[in-house]
Structure 1
Amino acid sequence: MSNAPQASARAKTFRPGFMARNRQVITPLLFLTPGILFFLFYVIFPVIQSFNLSFYKWDGLGEAEYVGLKNYKKLLTDRAFEVSLWNNFKWLILYLLAIPAGLFIALFLNQTVTGIRMYKSLFFFPFVISQVVVGLVFTWFYDPTFGLLNTILEQFGLEPLNVLGDPNLATYGIILAGLWPQTAYCMILYLTGLNAVDPEQIEAARLDGAKGWRMLWHIIIPQLRPATFIAFVVTIIGALRSFDLISIMTYGGPFGSTRVLSFYMFEKALSEYGFRMGYGAAIAVVLFVIMLAFIAYFLWSMYQDEKGAR
Structure 2
Amino acid sequence: MATVATNITNDPAPRSKISQQAIAPWLFLLPAFIFFATYVLYPIIQSFYISLYEWNGLYSPQYRGIDGFTDQQCLELGNRAGREPGCELTGDTVWNAEYVGMENYRNLYADPFFWTSLKNNVIWLLLYFLAIPGGLMISLFLNQKVFGMRLYKSLFFFPFVLSQVVVGLVFSWFMLPGADEGLLNVILGWFGAGPVNILGNNDTATYGIIAAGLWPQTAYCMILYLTGLNAVDPEQIEAARLDGAKGPKMLWYVVLPQLWPATFIAIVVTVIGALRSFDLITIMTNGGPGFYNTSVLAFYMYDVALSEFGFRMGYGSAIAVILFLIMMVYIAGFLWKMWRDEKV
Deviation for aligned residue 1:282: 0.5
Match of 1:253 among 288, 313, 318: 288
The number of residues matched between the two structures is 294
Partner Cα separation in structure 2 for residue 301 and residue 111 of structure 1: 33
Matched, 1:280 2:316: yes
Q: What's the secondary structure of 1:57's corresponding residue?
A: strand
Counterpart amino acid of 2:159? P
Q: What's the secondary structure of 1:188's corresponding residue?
A: helix
Matched, 1:42 2:77: no
Structure (1 or 2) with the greater helix fraction: 1
Query: Could you say which residue in structure 2 is the equivalent of 1:89?
Result: 122
Superposed CA offset, 1:21-66 (max 9, x none): 3232222222211110000010001001101111110011242111
Match of 1:233 among 250, 264, 268: 268
Partner Cα separation in structure 2 for residue 104 and residue 97 of structure 1: 11
Matched, 1:160 2:195: yes
Superposed CA offset, 1:176-201 (max 9, x none): 00000000000000011111111111
Matched, 1:187 2:184: no
Q: What's the secondary structure of 1:164's corresponding residue?
A: coil
Partner Cα separation in structure 1 for residue 111 and residue 147 of structure 2: 56
Query: Could you say which residue in structure 2 is the equivalent of 1:244?
Result: 279
Q: CA RMSD in A?
A: 1.4
Q: Any unmatched runs of 5+ in structure 1?
A: 1-10
Greater Cα shift, 195-204 or 271-280? 271-280
Match of 2:183 among 148, 151, 157: 148
Superposed CA offset, 1:208-266 (max 9, x none): 11100010011100111111010000000000000000011111111121100000000
Query: Could you say which residue in structure 1 is the equivalent of 2:24?
Result: 27
> Judging changes above 3 Å, is the alpha-carbon distance between structure 1 residues 120 and 274 closer, same or farther for their aligned structure 2 residues?
closer
Q: Percent identity, please.
A: 67
Q: Any unmatched runs of 5+ in structure 2?
A: 1-10, 60-95
Q: What's the secondary structure of 2:101's corresponding residue?
A: coil
Deviation for aligned residue 1:16: 5.7
Match of 1:219 among 254, 258, 271: 254
Partner Cα separation in structure 2 for residue 273 and residue 307 of structure 1: 51
TM-score (norm. length: structure 2): 0.83
Contact 2:202 2:289 in 1 (8 A): yes
**Using CA pairs below 8 Å that are at least 6 residues apart, which structure has the higher relative contact order?**
1
Counterpart amino acid of 2:134? A
Match of 1:301 among 334, 337, 342: 337
Partner Cα separation in structure 2 for residue 58 and residue 181 of structure 1: 37
Q: What's the secondary structure of 1:275's corresponding residue?
A: coil
Q: What's the secondary structure of 1:161's corresponding residue?
A: coil
Query: Could you say which residue in structure 2 is the equivalent of 1:123?
Result: 156
Partner Cα separation in structure 1 for residue 309 and residue 333 of structure 2: 39
